[in-house]
Amino acid sequence: MEDLRKNKIIFMMGGPGSGKGTQCEKLVEKYGFTHLSTGELLRKELASESERSKLIRDIMQRGDLVPSDIVLELLKEAMMASLNNTQGFLIDGYPREVKQGEEFHRRIGVPHLVICMDCSADTMTNRLLQRSQSSPCLEDTTKTIAKRLETYYRASIPVMAYYEAKTQLRKINAEGTPEEVFLQLCTAIDSIF
């Protein structure tokens, strides 16, 4: 098997609205990383006509969660595809639970850096509400947001504890302006090169 860890692997954790997408875009531009989001990979797979997409669709229609081995398979294929023309992998919104982290560890390895975008519930809520005002979709009501935040907190605490002992875990103050947050991220990332 090709060694996917010959490139730096960085996990970007953070609640909804903590600024992961915004910062990943800036980091891709500065460092030449490949930005991978498992949600995005699943959406792309569903839009294809593969056998696997039918399987995933069936699972989702039953209301079940997509099994973590399928998610990891998609992630691994995407990593393989850009293995020789990237400066590293920036993986956003993964792992969602410790089990996914353990699977990633077994199949690929330990990430070189885990970033946690530290942001208060108030700030995340305000950002998400602002975004929802500029779109016709009213789904992101305060109540829905509160539920998403709670789900994130509950899941992220054990994941962070898992990585604390395994690799570099860096907490970033994600409350500031995008430029302020970006400067902190650059310091953390420069430290692994």
Ligand X SMILES: Nc1ncnc2c1ncn2[C@H]1C[C@H](O)[C@@H](COP(=O)(O)OP(=O)(O)O)O1
Our CB check for Mg ion shows the closer of 127 and 171 to be 127
The number of residues that bind ligand X (CB under 6 A) is 13
Out of Mg ion, ligand X, none, what residue 16 binds, judged by CB under 5 to 8 A for its kind, is: ligand X
CA distances (Å), 149 to each of 15, 18, 65, 121, 144, in order? 6, 10, 19, 7, 9
| C-alpha neighbours within 13 Å on the C-beta side of residue 15 | 27
96 is an interface residue for ligand X by CB under 6 A: no
Give least dist CB 14 to ligand X, A: 5
In the numeric block, the tokens 């302006």 are attached to 177
Give least dist CB 6 to Mg ion, A: 27
101 is an interface residue for ligand X by CB under 6 A: no
C-beta of residue 63 within 8 angstroms of C-beta of residue 70: no
In the numeric block, the tokens 């099994």 are attached to 67
131 is an interface residue for ligand X by CB under 6 A: yes
CA distances (Å), 11 to each of 37, 50, 185, in order? 10, 28, 12
Binders of Mg ion in range 7-46 (CB under 5 A): 20-21
Among 84, 85, 135, 177, binds ligand X (CB under 6 A): 177
Which residues in 3-135 belong to E strands, given as ranges? 8-14, 34-37, 88-92, 113-118
Our CB check for ligand X shows the closer of 26 and 76 to be 26
- Residues of this chain that bind Mg ion (CB under 5 A): 20-21
- Residues of this chain that bind ligand X (CB under 6 A): 14, 16-22, 127, 131, 177-178, 181
